[in-house]
Structure 1
Amino acid sequence: MNAPMAGEYAALATVAVHRWNGASGHSQYDDVAEEVPVALEYNGIAHAVMLASPTDLEDFALGFSLSEGIIADRSELYDCDVMPGPDGIRVALRIAAARLAALKDRRRNLTGRTGCGLCGTESLQHAVRIPPMVSSSACFSAAELEAAFRQMESMQRLQHRTGATHAAAWLGPGAAIEHVREDVGRHNALDKLLGALASRRADFSRGAVLVTSRASYEMVQKAATLGIGMLAAVSAPTALAVRLAETAGISLAGFVRRQGHVVYAHGHRITQP
Structure 2
Amino acid sequence: MTDDARDLTLWRFDGAAASARADQVAHEEPLEIQVDGASLVVLMRTPGADEDLVRGFLLTEHIVASLDQIAGLQHCTTVPDPEAEDNVMLVRLRPDVRLDLERLRRHTIASSSCGVCGKATIDHVRQLTPPLDDGARLDPAVLYRLPARLYAAQAGFARTGGLHAAGLFSLDGELLLLREDVGRHNAVDKVVGALATGRLEPRACCLLVSGRVSWELVQKTAAARIPVLAGVSAPTSLAVRAATALGLTVIGFLRGESMNVYSCAERVRSGC
**TM-score over 0.5 for the alignment?**
yes
TM-score, normalising length from structure 1?
0.88
1:237 aligns with 2:230: no
| 1:71 alignment partner in structure 2 | 64
Matched with 1:54 is 47
Distance 1:252 1:267 in 2: 8
Match of 2:83 in 1: 86
Q: TM-score, normalised by structure 2?
A: 0.88
| RMSD, aligned α-carbons | 2.3
User: Unaligned 5+ residue runs, structure 2?
Assistant: none
Q: Is the 8 A contact 2:41 2:105 kept in 1?
A: no
- Residue 177 of structure 1 corresponds to which residue in structure 2? 175
Of 133-142 and 235-244, deviating more is 133-142
Aligned counterpart, 1:147: 145
> Within the alignment, does 1:221 sit opposite 2:214 as a pair?
no
Report the CA distance between 1:122 and its aligned residue: 9.4
Shift of 1:12: 1.1
Q: Which residue of 2 aligns with 1:129?
A: 125
**Structure 1 residue identity aligned to 2:99:** A
Matched with 1:5 is: none
Deviation at 1:73, TM superposition (A): 1.1
The C-alpha deviation readout for 1:2-57, integer Å capped at 9, x for no partner, is: 8xxxxxx8321111111122333321101001110100011111000011000100
**Does 1:210 pair with 2:208?**
yes
CA shift, 1:103, in A, is 4.3
Partner of 2:154: 156
Find the aligned partners of 2:29 and 2:75 in 1 and give their Cα distance.
Answer: 13
User: In structure 2, the residue corresponding to 1:159 is in which secondary structure?
Assistant: helix
| SS of 1:69 mapped into structure 2 | coil
Cα separation, 1, equivalents of 2:34 and 2:114: 17
Match of 1:188 in 2: 186
- Aligned-pair identity in percent equals 30
Deviating more after overlay: 174-183 vs 82-91: 82-91
* Alpha-carbon distance in structure 1 between the residues aligned to 2:239 and 2:95: 33
Contact preservation (8 Å) 1:138, 1:208: no
Q: 1:207 corresponds to which letter in structure 2?
A: C
Q: 1:23 to 1:55 in 2, by over 3 A?
A: same
Letter in 1 for 2:43: M
Residues 48-57 or 174-183, more deviating: 174-183
- 8 Å CA contact 1:47–1:108 kept in 2: the answer is no
Please name the residue that 1:165 is paired with: 163
For the 8 Å contact 1:108–1:121, the answer to whether it is kept is: no
* Correspondence for 1:39: 32
